[in-house]
Structure 1
Amino acid sequence: MGIPFANATQQQFVRQLQKRIVAQQNTFVVTANPEIVMYAAQNQKYRDIVLTADYISADGIGIVQAAKTLHTPLPERVTGYETFASLMSWSESQSRKIYFLGAKPAVIAALTKKVATQYPHIQVVGAQDGYFNDDTKVAKTIQESQPDIVFVATGFPRQEQFIAQHRQLTNGLWMGVGGSFDVFVGAVKRAPEFWQKHHLEWFYRLLTDPKRLKRQLVIPKFMWAIHKLKK
C-alpha cells in the first residue's frame, strides 16, 4: 500500500537506532500498525508525513501477515513498545538524555517517578503530558535541553505531525510510541504472553476495552484492501 517498512528483526532495528543515536543522526521513527496504514491511505497529508520518516516499523502482526501475502515478507513484527523498552534499558547503561511527551498528567507523573527509581542513570530532561495546545513552549524546552531521544506518546496522527514539524530542533531520535507510557506505568495492561505468542493482542485489548471496537473495525478493512492488492 505504498508504505516502505523496515526489513529487520526487532534486535536489528534497535541496534540500528542505537548507532544513529550515538552518531547524533537526526532520526524519525514511525511505528505503523494496520490502523495507521489505512489512515495514511485516506489522508494524503498524513501519508506525506509518514513517508518522511527514516524508519517505519511493522508494529503489528497484521502488517507482517500482509507483507507475506503480497510476497514481500518481513522477518517479524517490530513493536513500538518493545523498541521503547529496549531503548530505555540501553539509555540507562549509556546515561542518555530523554524527553517524554504525551499521555495523561497522572501517567506522565507516574512515568517520571518510575524512571527515577528503575532507570536512575537516564537523564530526564523534560516530561510533558499530552494536554497542551501550544507547541511553542514544548518545542523550546526540547531545543534547550537537546535530548538524545524524544518519545512522543500523543497517538497518531498528532505525534507524527508534531515530530515532522519539530524534529530538526535536536540531532536525536524522535519516535511516536502511542500508548507505551500507559503500558510502562501499568495504567494499561499489555496482553499476557499467551495472547502475544498467538498474535491475539488486538483481541485481548478489545476484550479488556470494548470501547476499542470502532477502532478495531479497521482490521477487516485492511485485510480486504490487501486481498484486493493480491489480485
Structure 2
Amino acid sequence: MLKHYTKHKLFVPEYANVDYDSASDIIIGHAEERNSFGVSALAVHGLMESITNPKLKDVIGQIDMIVPDGQPVRWALNSFYKLGMTDRVYGPELTLRVLEKANKKNLRVYLFGSTESTLGLLEKFIERRFPNVVISGVHVDRFREATLEEDQADIIKINESGANIVLVGRGCPRQELWVANHKDKVNAAMMAVGAAFDFHAGTLKQAPSWMQKNGLEWLFRLMMEPKRLAKRYFVTNTRFIFEFLKYKIFYKQPYRLK
C-alpha cells in the first residue's frame, strides 16, 4: 500500500512533506507497478525557475512528487507551514536510497541524459554498488529537444525495456520539463535528479556534509565551477530571499490567492 503524503505550495510548485524513507518507498511502490509517476528534487534554482520560466511554470503541477532538495527550501516550508522537517530530501541521496531498495527487488533502471562518458561511469557505479539492479537502457542526451519522431521512439524504447525507474539527468529545468511532459507516456517512475549523475559517476565532487547541512552547498559548487555558476547563484539566491520576504511580510503565506 502506497504511503500518503501532503503537499504544500511554495510560490509556484507544491512540495511533498516527505523524508528519504517515505519518498523512496513511494517511488518504489509506483516503480513496481510501472505506474507513470513523476518526481523532482527541486532546490532553490529549480524553485525560482518555476517562477521565471513560463514553460516550467505551466507544467510543474504535472510532476506528482516534488521533494525539498535544498536546505533553504526546507527552511521556507517550515517557516510558513510549521512542518518540522528535520532534513531536506537531497536528489543524489534520494537516488541512492531508491537504488538500494530497487536492488532488493531486482528492479530495472533506465538512465536518460548526460554525456556518454558520465553515463558509462554511472552505469559501472550502479553495477558495482547495486548488483541486482538491472540497467535496462541508457540514453545519451542530445543536448537539444527531440523531434516528435525522436521523442516517440524514445518513449517506445523506454517502455519496451521494461524499466521500472527512469533516472533523468538533464539539468534543471530541462529534466523537469521532460518528466512533466512524459507523464502518462512513460510507464515508469521518472526521477529528475540532475547532478546525481555526475556525483555518483565521480565526475563532480560533492560538498562536505557540514556545508550541506548548513545550506552552503551552493558555495562549494560555486568554488568548483565559478564561471558557470556565479550568475546562477548570486541572482537566483537573491531572488529567492526577495520572494521569501515578500510573501512572509505582505501576504503572510507562501503564495497569492487568485
Against the structure 1 CA distance between its residues 148 and 188, is the aligned structure 2 distance closer, same or farther, given a 3 Å change threshold? same
Alignment RMSD: 1.7
Structural mapping, 1:1-231, within 5 Å:
1-73=11-83, 75=85, 76-131=87-142, 133=146, 134-211=150-227, 212-217=229-234, 218-231=236-249
Q: Secondary structure at the match of 1:99?
A: strand
Which stretches of structure 1, 4 residues or more, deviate above 6 A after TM superposition? Answer: none
SS at match of 1:154: coil
Secondary structure in 2 matching 1:150: strand
- Between the aligned partners of 1:222 and 1:35, the Cα distance in structure 2 is 9
Q: Report how far residue 151 of structure 1 moved.
A: 0.7
Q: Could you tell me whether the CA contact under 8 Å between 1:7 and 1:74 is conserved in 2? A: no
Aligned residues: 231
Task: Evaluate the alpha carbon distance shift between residue 23 and residue 125 of structure 1 in structure 2; reply closer, same or farther with a 3 A threshold.
Answer: closer
Aligned-pair CA distance for 1:74: 5.3
1:170–1:57: structure 2 CA closer, same or farther, 3 Å change rule?
Answer: same
CA drift of 1:101 comes to 0.7
**Deviation per CA, 1:57-82, whole angstroms, max 9, x where unpaired?**
00101101222333453513111111
SS at match of 1:57: strand
TM-score of the aligned structures, taking structure 2 as reference length = 0.83
After superposition, give the CA deviation of every residue in 1:184-213 in whole Å (9 maximum; x if it has no partner). 011001111222233311111112221211
User: In structure 1, what residue type is equivalent to 2:161?
Assistant: S
- The change in CA–CA distance for 1:11 and 1:46 in structure 2 (over 3 A counts) is same
Contact 2:59 2:181 in 1 (8 A): no
What is the rounded CA distance, in whole Å, between the counterparts of 2:78 and 2:210 in structure 1?
A: 23
In 1, are the aligned partners of 2:168 and 2:193 still within 8 Å (CA)?
A: yes
Cα distance in 2 for residues equivalent to 1:158 and 1:8: 24
- Counterpart of 1:219, as a letter, is N
Separation in 1 of the partners of 2:181 and 2:77? 30
Code of the residue aligned with 2:106 in structure 1: it is S
Distance 1:71 1:35 in 2: 21
Task: Work out whether residues 96 and 148 of structure 1, in 8 Å CA contact, stay in contact via their aligned partners in 2.
Answer: yes
CA distance in 2, matches of 1:198, 1:164: 31
C-alpha separation in 1, matches of 2:195 and 2:135: 19
CA contact (8 A) 1:25 1:172 kept: yes
Counterpart Cα distance in 1 of 2:212 and 2:94: 15
Aligned residue type for 2:126: V
Verify the 8 A CA contact 2:114 2:197 in the aligned structure 1.
Answer: yes
Scaled by the length of structure 1, what TM-score is found?
0.92
Residue 11 to residue 59, structure 1, CA distance change in 2 (3 Å): same
Offset of residue 136 of structure 1: 3.6
Distance 2:179 2:212 in 1: 29
